[in-house]
Structure 1
């Protein structure tokens, strides 16, 4: 079965090489285009006030890369007393490379797994909790809701925008003609972009075997009519490779 890889091109190339070493053919069609947002006064203030927060959540490698560039611009040394959390190991590795003592869940790579961490349970009990989330201009509302529900204050630093690439419908039809029978989808937005771009071809493409990182994306896929949904139990290359090879 030929797989369609749908992350950013560098990530797809890395995963494609690992798949090829295992005899699995693939092709690449990124489903999300990422555009860095300009830094305005409010975004600058959130970075400069970083020492007012007990914790910073970083939701993706893109958020980590852009956020770390801005952190370096305004903080020659990271502020003391701030706890750093990443949604997944890839994001956490980027934070650690920058000298930050980042933590991430070991039992999943989504918001739910992050919030299950014992460290987060302790933070949510603080009466004056303040949390900063590095993210896109939308998404990860569960993190916001959970902090608010615990009586904490949460601010979101929007670092980038995600949108469907131009010509996505044509690329998906070309992938279908090339013999694709499976697709790796690692976010709800990627799933939605695929569904919208497939349009009239959705009745055929929804039967591709669909690998997703966790239950939340799986339920969205099933709700849209995907007939063969497989869990990767994570969004990193190792989780995807393990899931694909186990089939």
Structure 2
């Protein structure tokens, strides 16, 4: 055990899975989901993209909700045979797609956009004269990934499938939870998760900004530091393994 007692903020199902993994490793995690996943209403544009999926040389799926909802859309409106190369940012999303028989590539180290862009298989998929890439995502996010793909000569389209909303909590829920369970670290899995953390913290944010904050990528680390977070730890990935490695490398401190 490293002495960490962490606030976990992923969607409820993912929080529960992460808490169980941490417990098996002797670490404590308290689940307070700050992201509710809400599927977007079906649109004609979604259906059109699904029908024309095979015009893309690569499809990038950025999260497990995008994987699940994208597969459901394709089951209704997609072509019988899927020909693009499939990529995910991390192993968890790849597992959802692979369960449906898709061959998926993802970075073995560093589940973030930067690691994905270094994959030789992705570069090979972009090697054609007019590469088109589809990013399955929520309402927003991964703009840097799209910019970098465009710089490599690809035309990039988005397929928005869901939105993330902050669940309704009574005032002071966040601070009460941290104090009641003697937590000494905060974990967020995305930029939007961090924004929801700040929103829920409200006037208590300057105090909570002193807590160690574990984030999944340099981009989220930069966002957190710009907002005043004083002790940011970049796990270089959103997986449980990446978090556990960061916990072992970062001494816990009493607060």
Give the TM-score range, shorter chain: over 0.9
Structure 2: distance between partners of 1:164 and 1:92: 26
Structure 2: tracts of 5 or more residues without a match? 251-255
Question: Against the structure 1 CA distance between its residues 189 and 197, is the aligned structure 2 distance closer, same or farther, given a 3 Å change threshold?
Answer: same
Corresponding residue for residue 231 of structure 2: 228
RMSD after superposition: 1.7
Corresponding residue for residue 116 of structure 2: 114
Report the 3-state secondary structure (helix = DSSP H, G, I; strand = E; otherwise coil) of the residue aligned with 1:151. coil
Structure 1: distance between partners of 2:18 and 2:73: 29
Corresponding residue for residue 244 of structure 1: 247
Tell whether 2:88 aligns with 1:86: yes
Corresponding residue for residue 105 of structure 1: 107
Pairwise CA distance, 1:52: 1.1
Structure 1: distance between partners of 2:170 and 2:14: 18
Deviations 1:193-227 (A, max 9, x none): 11122121012111111111122211211121111
Question: Against the structure 1 CA distance between its residues 132 and 111, is the aligned structure 2 distance closer, same or farther, given a 3 Å change threshold?
Answer: same
Corresponding residue for residue 253 of structure 2: none
Corresponding residue for residue 218 of structure 1: 221
CA contact (8 A) 1:31 1:168 kept: no
Structure 2: distance between partners of 1:4 and 1:86: 26
Structure 2: distance between partners of 1:132 and 1:234: 22
Structure 1: distance between partners of 2:130 and 2:171: 48
Report the 3-state secondary structure (helix = DSSP H, G, I; strand = E; otherwise coil) of the residue aligned with 1:180. coil
Q: Which of 27, 31, 46 is the equivalent residue of 2:30?
A: 27
Write the mapping of 1:4-15 to structure 2, written as runs, cut at 5 A: 4-15=7-18
Pairwise CA distance, 1:168: 6.7
Q: Which of 139, 142, 149 is the equivalent residue of 2:141?
A: 139
Pairwise CA distance, 1:83: 0.3
Between 156-165 and 58-67, the greater mean CA deviation after superposition: 156-165
Structure 1: distance between partners of 2:206 and 2:47: 46
Deviations 1:46-104 (A, max 9, x none): 00111111111100001001111111223474323x10000111011111111111100
Question: Against the structure 1 CA distance between its residues 186 and 168, is the aligned structure 2 distance closer, same or farther, given a 3 Å change threshold?
Answer: farther
Structure 1: distance between partners of 2:170 and 2:153: 42
Report the 3-state secondary structure (helix = DSSP H, G, I; strand = E; otherwise coil) of the residue aligned with 1:230. strand
Structure 1: tracts of 5 or more residues without a match? none
